[in-house]
A and B are shown apart, each in its own frame.
Chain A
């Protein structure tokens, strides 16, 4: 079930309202592209390329590497929110390069997103640091972040911020920030740990607005509270809050609105 169907009546209002203040509909400044589309996987003789199509053009997102790589590929059967900047220069795997690029795999299933293209001689990725087989020696990076150093006094009120994928409940690549917050709370004998979850909207290149799930700020905050309790922060000092109204953002900075803050107040 597509949970967003219930709000279909709001679509036209949204499109009209957002498009109205867009001076250049369909294009952000600086060759920036923000759009929802199906990912496409293009096989090569080594590892696959990840592409997508938008308004008749093909864009290159990245290649399969490893979990520790900067680019984490999308998933077939899911649309992807692409937030990227066009990089001048040669195409890769037939696509205009978006770099930097941030992608968010949309949680809902979309069975139409299922395009796999075969390897052809025309496209190759000689720059791939790892092929489809085992690594040459060791993994690209450790699976875990190193244990941070014990925080030292003086202790002041400190805020930790985590950023999320669109509609994401867990900041998967920012676990080290959670560890930092926990260690700081413990070392400073915190009297208060305040968690605030936020929710965001992003303006797409076609002028439409895309909002996160209405419940996402609450979920982010509650999951973080559980997480901090599980790793040793006393539940009695944790307070949880969330802002259900979506903060608007556009361009590459829009992803910074999808966030959560942990404020640690020392004893």
Chain B
């Protein structure tokens, strides 16, 4: 055992007094988060793609073209690889003409709908991205240089310049370094960041990189699901129950704490602030949307619910013959903020109905339903050792923790963590993330006075520092906010960096990461269960 050294003398003595009125924490002022002005400066620098006129390229029936003016029905279904996805708009049909979610707000031809497609569970799948590339010869605004390419200074007509979007479904997210406090001032981070490998060229770019006039770190992340957001935005108490007495952000409109589960790094506290960020940076708008536009975007996002409605093998996921918590209607009707790691209010309800034969079902249906029900049990009740995960094993539950998937994926209906869900599962930090050569690699060196990452210490190699790029905290390096589980079949690939191309790869990652020892049957059952969500 390494012995801890002991000290006799204090290195300093006496009382030191300081008066500091300035906040040193990330967050937002009004609807603008601290990092957004610096980001916008880079977005303004980046060229715009040659955005085609709306009718220039044929769009598939499922592709929602920005500014198309189509009406969005109250309920619409889209086929996906495992069955059918339902999109429910609780306010009824929407006329999308001039609606700010569906209409370009900026200068590059994109709208929110570009990366939040109804057919892809209000995210966007790699399959859709590839189809758009082929259909438009890379001219769709989706591939805009600012973040639809690996870096704006690459030759945009080449497929290789968009490889991370085409292969992994990743959008470039550029974040100022050092991190910004809520008022936009530079914070003092607890660590230094070095670029070890820069396959996209953007982190070392003299114009867009870490050592440019406007220092920026580029990471690459999946667009998240813009639906079921009453669950995602749910806010509870004043303090995080996880990050050790860390105050939760406050919604300036309501004055109440937010859940800090928006976005991969929780850098935006509210839907309005997220829309400002997206308009100024992804859409390269000259100015933030108006208050009225922001309200319309938020209202729309709060009334959209998505979930699978049909499983090709098991049949309908709604109605009397299906488990009770599936389908978008159920999501629309339930209340957020309910802890689901218990038998009283299980995360995704009870699948016992499908453990026994039902009326009018075929043999194939029976087999599929039994598998799904077993998968639900694997998710909910099969213990394994969860260990060495920052913000899971460090919150008073012990390392290791003998529990189940639903311990961390505990929010009823979505499977997110109930609040402030950024954790280090190992999807971006080495060694668990592996070392794929197409992603950037950073070396993080933390100050000796900073509390280290509990399981990786003070020198960490990562593809994406995650929340740490916002908080500046060493113990946040590689932590990513959990994504919700709904509509998985419609929006591959998975994890924030698209490292799991399929649900089976997702399950295999967990099996490897936590040495679970799933049987082949358990893996298949778990995948079949996830497909129904």
A residues whose Cβ falls under 8 Å from a Cβ of B: 1-5, 7-8, 10-11, 13-15, 17-18, 36-38, 41, 43, 47-48, 50, 64, 66-67, 72-79, 105-110, 112-113, 116, 132-139, 143-145, 169-175, 178-179, 196, 199, 201, 208-211, 213-215, 218-219, 222, 225-227, 229-232, 234-236, 238-246
B residues neighboring A (CB under 8 Å): 1-25, 27, 236-239, 241, 244-247, 250, 339, 341-344, 346, 380-381, 383, 385, 387-388, 393-404, 406, 418-419, 448-449, 451-452, 454-455, 457-458
Q: How far is the CB of B253 from chain A (nearest CB, A)?
A: 16
Selected contact of A50 from candidates B398, B452, B457, CB within 8 Å:
B398
8 closest A-B pairs by beta carbon, nearest first, are A73-B398, A144-B237, A244-B12, A235-B21, A75-B399, A14-B8, A135-B342, A72-B396
Assess the A7–B7 pair: CB atoms within 8 A: yes
Q: A75-B394, A135-B343 are in contact. Are A244 and B23 (CB under 8 A)?
A: no
- A67 with B395: in contact, given A108-B452, A132-B404 (CB under 8 Å)? yes
The verdict on A215 contacting B449 (CB below 8 Å), with A41-B400, A67-B397 known, is: yes
Residue of B nearest to A132 (CB): B383
Supposing A67-B395, A136-B342, A143-B237 touch, asked if A43 and B10 sit within 8 A by C-beta, the answer is: no
Q: How far is the CB of A89 from chain B (nearest CB, A)?
A: 24
A-B contact pairs, 15 of them (CB 8 A): A64-B398, A76-B388, A110-B1, A134-B341, A143-B237, A201-B7, A211-B6, A229-B21, A229-B23, A229-B25, A234-B21, A235-B20, A239-B17, A239-B19, A240-B18
User: Is B23 a contact partner of A235 (Cβ separation < 8 A)?
Assistant: yes
Decide: A74 and B241 in contact? CB cutoff 8 A: no
Choose from A18, A109, A214 the contact partner of B455 (Cβ within 8 Å). A109
Task: Please indicate the chain A residues that have their CB under 8 angstroms from the CB of B402 in the complex.
Answer: 43, 47-48, 64, 132
Cα separation A10 to B10 with both chains bound (whole Å): 11
Question: Is A143 a contact partner of B236 (Cβ separation < 8 A)?
Answer: yes
Q: List chain B residues, Cβ under 8 A from A175.
A: 238-239, 245
Q: Is the CB of B343 within 8 A of A134?
A: yes
Q: In the assembly, what is the distance between CA of A105 and CA of B397, in Å?
A: 12
Is the pair A4, B4 in contact by a Cβ cutoff of 8 Å?
yes
Measured between beta carbons, the chain B residues less than 8 angstroms from A10 are: 5-9
Contact B448 A1 (CB under 8 A): yes
Determine the residue in chain B with the shortest Cβ distance to A140: B342
The one of A3, A108, A246 that contacts B10, using a Cβ cutoff of 8 Å? A246
Query: Can you name the residue of chain B whose Cβ is closest to the Cβ of A46?
Result: B402
What's the nearest-Cβ distance from chain B to residue A12, in Å? Answer: 9
Q: Which residues of B contact A219 (CB under 8 A)?
A: 449
Residue of A nearest to B346 (CB): A134
Docked pose: A5 CA to B6 CA in angstroms = 9
Do the beta carbons of B27 and A230 come within 8 Å of each other? yes
Q: CA separation between A178 and B240, bound complex, in Å?
A: 13
Q: Which of A17, A133, A222, A242 contacts B8 (CB 8 A)?
A: A17
A175 to chain B, nearest CB (A): 4
Cα A235 to Cα B182 with chains together (Å): 14
Q: Which of B21, B238, B403 contacts A236 (CB 8 A)?
A: B21
Nearest CB of chain B from residue A173's CB, rounded to whole Å: 8
- Give the distance in Å from the alpha carbon of A18 to the alpha carbon of B8 in the complex: 9
Is A14 touching B7 in the complex (CB atoms < 8 A)? yes
Closest B-chain residue to A177, C-beta based? B245
From known contacts A169-B451, A214-B12, A244-B16, infer whether A76 and B399 are also in contact, taking CB-CB under 8 Å: yes
Q: Which of B6, B246, B454 contacts A170 (CB 8 A)?
A: B246
Tell me which of A4, A13, A227 contacts B245 (CB under 8 A). Answer: A227
Cβ distance A17 to chain B, nearest Cβ, rounded Å: 6
Q: By the criterion CB–CB under 8 Å, are B25 and A230 in contact? A: yes
Give the distance in Å from the alpha carbon of A19 to the alpha carbon of B2 in the complex.
21
- Measured between beta carbons, the chain A residues less than 8 angstroms from B239 are 144, 175, 178-179
Q: Which residues of B contact A215 (CB under 8 A)?
A: 449
Return A36 CB to nearest CB of chain B, in Å: 6
A145 CA to B236 CA, complexed, in Å:
10
Asked whether B238 lies within 8 Å of A231 as measured between CB atoms, the reply is: yes
For the complex formed, measure the closest distance between the CB of B336 and the CB atoms of chain A, giving whole angstroms.
14
- Please pick, from A66, A133, A145, A222, the residue contacting B380 in the complex, using a CB distance under 8 A: A133
In the bound complex, CA of A179 to CA of B248 (Å):
12
A48 to B385, CA, bound (A): 10
Q: Chain B nearest CB: distance from A205 CB in Å?
A: 13
Q: Is B6 within 8 A of A209, CB to CB? A: yes
Write the nearest CB–CB distance from B471 to chain A, whole angstroms. Answer: 12
Are A67 and B6 CB-contacts (below 8 A) given A143-B339, A213-B449, A231-B247? no
Q: How far is the CB of B193 from chain A (nearest CB, A)?
A: 18
A79: nearest residue on chain B (CB-CB)? B4
CA distance A60 to B22 in the complex (A): 46
Interfacial chain B residues near A231, Cβ < 8 Å: 238, 247, 250
Whether the pair A172, B396 counts as a contact (CB closer than 8 A) is: yes
A34 vs B40: C-alpha distance in the bound complex, in angstroms?
A: 55
Q: Please, which residues of chain A bring their CB within 8 A of the CB of B401?
A: 64
B457 near A172: Cβ-Cβ < 8 Å: no
Question: Complex formed: what's the CA distance from A226 to B187 in Å?
Answer: 12
- Pair B16/A241 contact, Cβ less than 8 Å: yes
CB atoms of B4 and A210 under 8 A apart: yes
Structural contact, B245 and A134, CB atoms closer than 8 A:
no
